[in-house]
Structure 1
Amino acid sequence: MTNNTPRVPNWVNGCESLPENDAWLDKFNPHNSELLCRVADSSAADVQGAIAAAGEAFLTWSEFTPVRRGQILAEIVAGMKRRADELGECIAVETGKPPQDAKGEVGGAILQAEYFAGEGMRLYGRSLTSGTPGKYSHTVRQPRGIAGLIVPANTPIANIAWKTFPALVCGNTVVLKAAEDSPQIALLFGKIAKEAGLPDGVFNVVQGRGQPAGAALVEDPRVAVISFTGSTGVGRWIAEVAGKRLARISLELGGKNPFVVCDDADLDQAVHWASLSAFSNAGQRCAAGSRILVFREVYEAFRDKLVVKAQSLKLGVSASCDLGPVINKRQQQAILAAIDYAKTEGGRILCGGAAPSSPELANGYYIQPTVIEGLQPSAELSCKEVFGPVVTLHPVDDLADALALANATEYGLTAAIHTRNVDRAMWFAQRVRAGVANINLGTFGSEPHMPFGGFGASGNGTREPGVEALDVYSELKNISFLTRSNLI
C-alpha cells in the first residue's frame, strides 16, 4: 500500500466521517487483484453515531409532506442522471462489470428512484365505511423511524435505490450498511443526495464488515426497520435478533432457481435466456437460473447449443465482453471448490470449470462459464447457491416431473419456463413454488413497479419494490371521527 491509496470513509450527518479507531479494510480490484482503495472498518460505535444522526434528523424529515419528500427525491434522481457516467464508471471499477452492464444498472436504479419519488403524490390511504351512523374512517401511512438498510455488492447502485427511495419517501431516515466490496458507490450516492438538497442526517452510510458494523445496526433498538438482501444464513440471524425486539424486517435472500425447457420450446430463444440467467453479471444474482430442467426429447439438442453459447462468451471488463469477474478472491475460491466437489458426486464438466489461464485475466477473480450435467438432484451443487457463473443440467420426463424437481428445494425465489403452449405455461406458473414466475424469459428481470421476493428460505414474505414496499417502510394508521347529529 502506498500513502496515496484512496480511502473510503463513512458518510454521517451530511459529511465524510473517519472510523473512530482509524481502522481500514483493503478493497482489491476484482479484474486484476490490485489494491483499489482502503475502506473504513467501522466499529459498533461508528454505527451508533450514524444511528444518532438519523434519529436527530427524523423529526424534521418525517414532518415534511410526502409531496415535498418526493420532490427532494426527484432532485436526487436528476443528480443521478447528470452523474450517470460517473456512477457507471464507479460500479465498473469496483465490481468488474463490463461498462455496458454497469451503465444498464445505473439506468435501472434511476427508474427505481423515479418511481418512488412519484409515490410522494401517491402515498394513498383508504376511505372505509362504518356501521355507526355519522362515523367516518380512513387510513394514513406514517413512517416507522430509522431504517437500517443492508445491501450486497452484486448490483450496488440498484440495491441502494431499491431500498433507499421507498424508505425515504415514507418519511424514514436511513443508515445504509454498504457492501464492503462496493463502498465507493454508496459514498458517491450520499454526496449526490446532499447536493440535491436532502437534509443532513436523513441518509447515512456506514462502511465495513457484517460483524461488527452490520450486527450493530441490527441489534440497536433505535432502528425500527431492517431491510436486508443477502445470504439465507445471515437472514435467519437477523430475523432472530431483530425479531426479539419486534423490529419490522424485510429479507430478500438466496435462490436456486429452476429454468424449465419443454419439448415444444424455441430452443434458440431458450438458450439465449438460459445463458443470460446463468452467466450474466458473472452469475452473481439471487435470481440466477442455476438449475436447468430439460425435457428428455430435446435434452441433447439444448445441451449442445448451451455449451456452444457458454464457450462463446468473452470474459473481461471491456465493452466487448459478456461477463466480468466475481467480486472477490474468497468467492472465486468457494466457487472453484464447489465445482471440484461436484466432480466427486458424479458431475461431468461440459465446459468451463476453472479460472481462465490467459495472462490478461489470470490475476483477476474470474470463473469460466461452467455447464455441468450428471448430478443427482440431491447433490450439493444441485441444491446450494454458489453465486457464480455455474449451471447444472437435469433431464426430466414431462411437465409434472419438471414441477416436482423445480419445487424440490428449500428456496423459492424465481422460476422460468419456455414453451409455446400457454396452458402448460400457466399450469406451471401457478404451481411452481416461487415469488416470481416468468414465461419465455429469464429467471430475472424485476421492474420498479413489480413486487419481488420469494417463498421458503428465499425470504420472509415481504416484497420490494412495487407499492408493496410501502408496507415495509410505513405504519398503517386508522383514523375515525364521529360527526354531531343534532345540527339540524
Structure 2
Amino acid sequence: MTDLIPDFIPNWIDGEEKPSIRGDVIEKKNPANGKRVCNLARSNKKDVDEAVNSAKKAQAMWAATPAVQRGMLLHKLAMEMKAKRESIAQIVAIETGKSYKEALGETDGAISLAIFYASEGQRLYAKTTTSAVPNKYAVMVRQPVGVAGLIIAANTPIANVAWKVFPAMICGNSVVLKAAEDTPATAWIVGAIASDVGIPPGVLNIVQGLGHEAGAALVANPHVGVISFTGSTPVGRTIAETAGKRLAKVSLELGGKNPLLVCDDADQDNAVKWVLLSAFSNAGQRCASASRIIVFDAIYDEFKQRLVDETQKLKIGPADGDDLGPVINQKQLSNMLEIVESAKKRGAAIVVGGNRIDGEKYKDGYYMAPTLIENVDPDDEISVTELFGPIACLYRVIDFESSIALVNHSPYGLTASIHTQNFNRAWEFSQKVQSGVAVINAGTYGSEPHMPFGGLKQSGNGTREPGTEAIDIYSELKCIYINTDPEKV
C-alpha cells in the first residue's frame, strides 16, 4: 500500500520482529476506500505468553535503572517520534481513514504526552511524613508493579499508544501492548523507533491480533500485574472479572453517552460549532463524543434548524479539507445502521442523515452520514448505547433543573458540556453533573497530557489517565519505617 507500512506487520517480542507462532494473519483494509493495506500477525496465547515472559525477564533490570535515566531514554524515544511525526501521521491517516491534517494533530498530541511522562522520571514523588512514636520516622516510596498489560482502541491510535506506554514504562514496568487490530502499523512503528533509540529488549513488547484471542490471553496471564484497557464497557466488564479473580490491578477507560447542554441564553453560533465538532469530528469515534444534545425548549426549534443547516454543509472524506472521514470498519458501520433503523421503528425521527453515504467516491469505504435524531425516549436503546460513530440525539428540556436530571439520566458519566452565559448556571452544572470531566462553552472532548481523564458509572472503574494520577496505576506505594536509637547518636 505504501512504503511506510510493510506488507506484513509482525509482533515486537524481546526486541525482535516475529510472526505469530502459528503463522496466522489478519487482513487490514483502509476504511476510506476498502483497499487492502497489509496483513498483521494473528497472535494467540502462546505468542502472548512469549511476550509476557520476555517482559518479565527484562523488568528487574528496567526497574533497577534510575527513574531519571528511564526518563532520558523515554525522552529520546519521544524526540525520535517527533523527528518522524510526518511519517507516523501518514500511517495513522492510512489506517484510520482520517485526514492527514487530523492525524498530524493527533501525533503531535501523543508526542506532547510522551514528553510529559518522560519528565516524570525526575519527579516520581512519594511522601515523607511524621510518626506518632518517638525516634521513629516514616517515608513512602514508589515501586513498579511489574509487567503491565496494555490494551488500546483504534480511534486515536498513536495517542492511545503514548497514553499507556509512557506512564507504564516511566514507573519501571516492562510492557506488553496489545495493539488494536484495525491500527497495527501505528503500534508497530513505535516499536521500531523504540528499538532504534535503545529501549532495552523486552521492556516494550507489542503483540498484534484480535481482542478475544490475544487480548484475553494477556488479561488472564498470571505474570501481568496491571491491566490498562481503553474500549467498550462490555469488554471492560469482562476484563475486570478476569483480572479480579487473581487480584491484578485494573484501569478501565470505557464508553460514554456524553451530554452537551444548550441553555436558552447560549451563544448559539458557538454552541452549534461545538456540537458539530463534538458529535462528528473523527467520525464520532471518541469515548468523549457528544451523542446527547439537550436543548432548552425556548430555543429548541431555532437551534435545531441552525444545527441541521450546518450539518448538511459538512464535507465527508479523508482529505485535509474534509470535516470527517469513515468509521473504522464494516462491522462498526453495520452496527450503527442497524441501531438507527431499530430506533426509527420505535418512533424516532431522523432529522438529518441516518444512512450510509452513497456515490462513486464513497462506495468502497465505510462512511456513515452525520446523523441527528429526535423524538427518542431517554431510556431507548439508542439513548443508552455507545455507538462510536457520527450519530447524536436531540432532547428538549423545560428548564435548568430538568436539564440536570436528563444530563445525569445515563448509565455513563465520562464527559459533559454546558453552553450558557450565566456563571451561576455554569458553576452549578459543573458541580452537579455526574461525569469525570465538565466543560463550559466548548466541546465534550479535549483532554490534555497533564490532566486526569476518566469517568463515573459505566464509563470506568475510577482510575484516571493521563496526568500524574496515572502514576498511581502503574506503581505501588511502599511505606518504610526507620527507627533510631538516641543513645547511639
For 1:192 and 1:323, the matched residues in 2 are separated by 29
CA contact (8 A) 1:291 1:382 kept: yes
1:404 and 2:396 are equivalent in the alignment? no
Give 1:312's aligned amino acid: K
For 1:313 and 1:173, the matched residues in 2 are separated by 44
Q: Give 1:149's aligned residue.
A: 150
1:174 and 2:175 are equivalent in the alignment? yes
Q: How far off is 1:438 after superposition?
A: 0.6
Q: Give 1:74's aligned residue.
A: 75
Q: Give 1:39's aligned residue.
A: 40
Greater shift in the superposed pair: 344-353 or 149-158:
344-353
TM-score, reference length from structure 1 = 0.98
Q: How far off is 1:479 after superposition?
A: 1.0
Q: How far off is 1:98 after superposition?
A: 0.8
1:217 and 2:218 are equivalent in the alignment? yes
Q: Give 1:134's aligned residue.
A: 135
- Could you report, residue by residue, the CA deviation over 1:160-192 in whole angstroms, capped at 9, with x for unpaired residues? 100110000000000000000000010100011
- Could you report, residue by residue, the CA deviation over 1:347-371 in whole angstroms, capped at 9, with x for unpaired residues? 1111111111121111100011111
| Aligned partner of residue 452 in structure 1, secondary structure | coil
Give 1:149's aligned amino acid: L
For 1:132 and 1:378, the matched residues in 2 are separated by 57
| Aligned partner of residue 137 in structure 1, secondary structure | strand
Q: Give 1:435's aligned residue.
A: 436
For 1:11 and 1:310, the matched residues in 2 are separated by 43
Q: How far off is 1:195 after superposition?
A: 1.3
For 1:242 and 1:357, the matched residues in 2 are separated by 44
- Could you report, residue by residue, the CA deviation over 1:117-175 in whole angstroms, capped at 9, with x for unpaired residues? 01000101111111112211111100000000000000001001001100000000000
| Aligned partner of residue 290 in structure 1, secondary structure | strand
Q: How far off is 1:69 after superposition?
A: 0.4
Give 2:152's aligned amino acid: V
For 2:164 and 2:130, the matched residues in 1 are separated by 34
For 1:383 and 1:46, the matched residues in 2 are separated by 37
For 1:372 and 1:396, the matched residues in 2 are separated by 16
Structure 2 unmatched ranges of 5 or more: none
- Could you report, residue by residue, the CA deviation over 1:66-94 in whole angstroms, capped at 9, with x for unpaired residues? 10000000000111100000100000000
Give 2:31's aligned amino acid: P
Give 1:454's aligned amino acid: G
Runs of 4+ aligned structure 1 residues displaced above 3 Å come to none
For 1:5 and 1:167, the matched residues in 2 are separated by 28
- Could you report, residue by residue, the CA deviation over 1:426-476 in whole angstroms, capped at 9, with x for unpaired residues? 111111110111111101111011111110110001000111101100000
- Could you report, residue by residue, the CA deviation over 1:322-359 in whole angstroms, capped at 9, with x for unpaired residues? 11100000001111111111111211111111111121
After superposition, residues 53-452 of structure 1 pair within 5 angstroms as 53-452=54-453
CA contact (8 A) 1:294 1:393 kept: yes
Give 2:473's aligned amino acid: V
Q: How far off is 1:400 after superposition?
A: 1.0
Q: Give 2:478's aligned residue.
A: 477
For 1:362 and 1:315, the matched residues in 2 are separated by 13
Q: How far off is 1:203 after superposition?
A: 0.2
CA contact (8 A) 1:342 1:381 kept: yes
Q: How many residues align?
A: 486
Give 1:442's aligned amino acid: G
Task: Please report the RMSD computed on the Cα atoms of aligned residues, expressed in angstroms.
Answer: 1.2
CA contact (8 A) 1:325 1:365 kept: yes
| CA pair 125-244 structure 1, distance change in 2 beyond 3 A | same
For 1:138 and 1:122, the matched residues in 2 are separated by 16
- Could you report, residue by residue, the CA deviation over 1:229-270 in whole angstroms, capped at 9, with x for unpaired residues? 001001111111101101000000010011000001000000
For 1:248 and 1:242, the matched residues in 2 are separated by 7
For 1:472 and 1:30, the matched residues in 2 are separated by 34
Q: How far off is 1:5 after superposition?
A: 8.1
For 1:72 and 1:283, the matched residues in 2 are separated by 35
Q: How far off is 1:487 after superposition?
A: 3.7
Q: How far off is 1:274 after superposition?
A: 0.8
CA contact (8 A) 1:43 1:213 kept: yes
- Could you report, residue by residue, the CA deviation over 1:362-414 in whole angstroms, capped at 9, with x for unpaired residues? 11000111111111112211111111000100010111111111111111111
Q: How far off is 1:212 after superposition?
A: 1.2
CA contact (8 A) 1:355 1:362 kept: no
Give 1:95's aligned amino acid: T
